Chain A
Amino acid sequence: MLAEQERREIEAELERYPRRDAASIDALRIVQRHRGWISDDSLREIAEFLQMSPDDLDSVATFYNLIYRRPVGRHVILLCNSVSCWIMGYAQLRQELHRRLGIGFGETTADGRFTLLPIVCLGACDHAPALMIDQDLHRDLSPDALDRVLEGYR
């Protein structure tokens, strides 16, 4: 069952569209914000609320990069792998993240603290290389600066 709070937030979105299923992406984002990711159960609950079939909703959910259909850690690191960051030292940053966290792309640290994912250009190309952790953008990074940045996320 969707929580009261989740329903309220989704209902606020429904007012913005003439059709219920149009709010599918907003609803997925809302539930993911509360639960961290979209499980099969979550998917069914949202689909029912929007009067869609779970399969239709799943085809939407799997299309979008920022909807997680698998569990993620407490913090999600999105490392930009697009062209300007690639020129400015993405590879070294990636290697250092793999080394420090002991995980590859798509994996979560054993303590559940971080999930590491690649992301396309974050629109911070003049301050490359860049990454996001949760809602925060971090720019002009170097492998040495990573400690300080990661420190802020427990």
Chain B
Amino acid sequence: MNGERPLTRDMKPDGEPLSLQEYERAGGYRAVRQALRMAPEAITRLVSDSGLRGRGGAGFPTGQKWSFVPLGAEAPHPKYLAANADEMEPGTFKDRWLLEGNPHQLLEGMMIAACAIEADVAYVFLRGEYTLAARRVERAIAEAYQAGYLGRHPFGADRGLELYLHVSAGRYMCGEETGLLNALEGKRANPRAKPPYPQVSGLFGKPTIVQNVETLACLPHIITHGAAWFHGLSRGVDAGSKLYGASGKVKRPGLWELPMGTPLGELLEEHAGGLRDGLKLRGLLPGGASTDFLTERHLDVAMDFTHVEKAGSRLGTGTIIVLDDRTCPVGMVWNLEEFFAQESCGWCTPCWSGLRWAERLLDGLERGQGSEADLDRLEWIVKFCAPGNTFCALAPGAVEPLGSALKYFREDFMAHIRERRCPWS
């Protein structure tokens, strides 16, 4: 572990974005020039060797994803790249930091990914509420065009790259890989059946890669410093540094770039300052709304994909949401299921009917109208929405906090039933 913070090191303390000149002075836009001299396969191999896994939540190996894109003279064109800047997972606010603080780093990452898959057109798919990020990314794109880094012959290269900002109009499903493609095509953000996979037939039927903002931001640094260096950033099994965050009733909510695999307890105590005075930790969601609760017992878990999974949850987006002892766990889960039920696209029965039913049952429990049979019903819904039963990962993700809450906070559910009211209200 070398303690470096490549993704945020160059950002300004006041949060103002780096201009193109400032970014270049800090070493920016050298990696893409290097990438342009490499064969696409060599870039993909380097990224595979670096161990980079997707930072959007699923942790899929990035190089492996690219390896399915057809290359060379026979490949269909135009090929597309989309930066997933939809960031609508409740409790998640990490990509905002990168978008607002250093948009050129994202653009350079996109240029490198475009080299690797020989993409012709790239989009930044940005959620509509990120208005400040929209202005800054738009400006960075204009600067890059002006400098000749985008367009017909970027950096004098043969292959052109057009890069556009698409500002979305809001729905959680837009962040799902294939939902995003439909949204970019101007349709409802329903997911698509796979196969065909987007790498082969994605946006407008052409080979397409969708990649999270943080994933893309890692690329210039991997090109510059190499795979071994990227592994060296980590304290855990998975490579790199990671943006972690904390929200809820902690002393210092915020965001930090730390070595991948930083222990959960260190994140909570040292960086977030621990719980506010007088409050105790009940549990936390380690990586956004659609991850399983962890508890006090898990504070020594290393926050990387591998270890969080072993502990029964997922690293997800790496932004933890803290539940304290003065907040009702049943109410918190109700809030989460209300979100997921609302954002269901309505395609599959377990999702639209199961999640709304769960939300209604939880609401009943909160009002003191629940019974023990309701807990069995909730358990049943958790199984009903398991991976494989639905078209996309929204429903399986939605029941992760529910299933784990039933496990860890059983006694709190029972108290609602016994007392016929919410003990916290």
Chain A interfacial positions (CB closer than 8 Å to B): 16-19, 21-26, 28-29, 59-60, 63-67, 78, 81-84, 86-88, 119-128, 132, 135-137
Contact = CB atoms under 8 A, between A and B. Distances in A.
B91 A121 contact: yes
Most chain A beta-carbon neighbours within 10 Å: one of B186, B245, B249: B186
A16 B132 CA distance: 22
Contacts of A78: 129
B327 interface: yes
B92 A121 contact: yes
Nearest to B130: A123
A87 B332 contact: yes
B186 A25 contact: yes
A88 B90 CA distance: 14
A60 B169 CA distance: 10
Given A78-B129, A82-B339, A87-B327, A23 B186 contact: yes
A140 B331 CA distance: 22
16 contacts: A16-B166, A18-B78, A24-B186, A26-B166, A66-B129, A66-B169, A82-B339, A83-B91, A84-B90, A87-B249, A120-B342, A120-B343, A121-B93, A123-B92, A126-B245, A135-B131
Interface of B: 78, 87-93, 95-96, 123, 127-132, 162, 164, 166-172, 183-189, 204, 245-249, 253-255, 289, 319, 321-324, 327, 331-332, 335-336, 339, 342-343
Given A19-B185, A60-B186, A125 B321 contact: yes
B169 A126 contact: no
Contact of B168 (A25, A82, A86, A137): A25
Given A65-B171, A120-B339, A127 B132 contact: no
Given A125-B93, A125-B319, A83 B169 contact: no
Contacts, number: 138
Nearest to B342: A120
A60 B187 contact: yes
A59 B188 contact: yes
A90 to B, nearest CB: 9
Contacts of B96: 123-124
A128 B246 CA distance: 11
A83 B336 contact: yes
A102 to B, nearest CB: 25
Contacts of A28: 169
B169 to A, nearest CB: 4
B186 A121 contact: no
A63 B245 CA distance: 30
A123 B166 CA distance: 18
Nearest to A50: B186
Contact of B204 (A18, A26, A119): A18
Contacts of A126: 93, 245-247, 253-255
Contacts of A136: 131
A51 to B, nearest CB: 12
Given A25-B183, A127-B253, A83 B87 contact: no
Given A87-B321, A120-B90, 7 more contacts: A16-B162, A21-B185, A82-B289, A121-B90, A123-B92, A123-B96, A126-B255
A29 B171 contact: no
Nearest to B183: A25
A95 B318 CA distance: 32
A124 B93 contact: yes
Contact of B170 (A18, A59, A64): A64
B90 A82 contact: yes
Nearest to B343: A120
Contact of A132 (B129, B169, B255, B336): B129
A65 B345 CA distance: 13
B125 to A, nearest CB: 11
Contacts of B93: 121, 123-126
Q: Kindly list the 6 A-B residue pairs having the minimum CB-CB distance in the complex, ordered from nearest.
A: A65-B170, A64-B169, A125-B247, A24-B186, A126-B253, A82-B90
A19 B335 contact: no
A84 B339 CA distance: 12
Most chain B beta-carbon neighbours within 10 Å: one of A66, A122, A126, A137: A126
A123 B169 contact: no
Given A64-B170, A122-B129, A84 B186 contact: no
A29 B92 contact: no
A19 B128 CA distance: 22
A128 B247 contact: yes
B88 A121 contact: yes
Contacts of A132: 129
Contacts of B339: 82-83, 120
A23 B187 CA distance: 9
A16 B164 contact: yes
Nearest to A126: B253
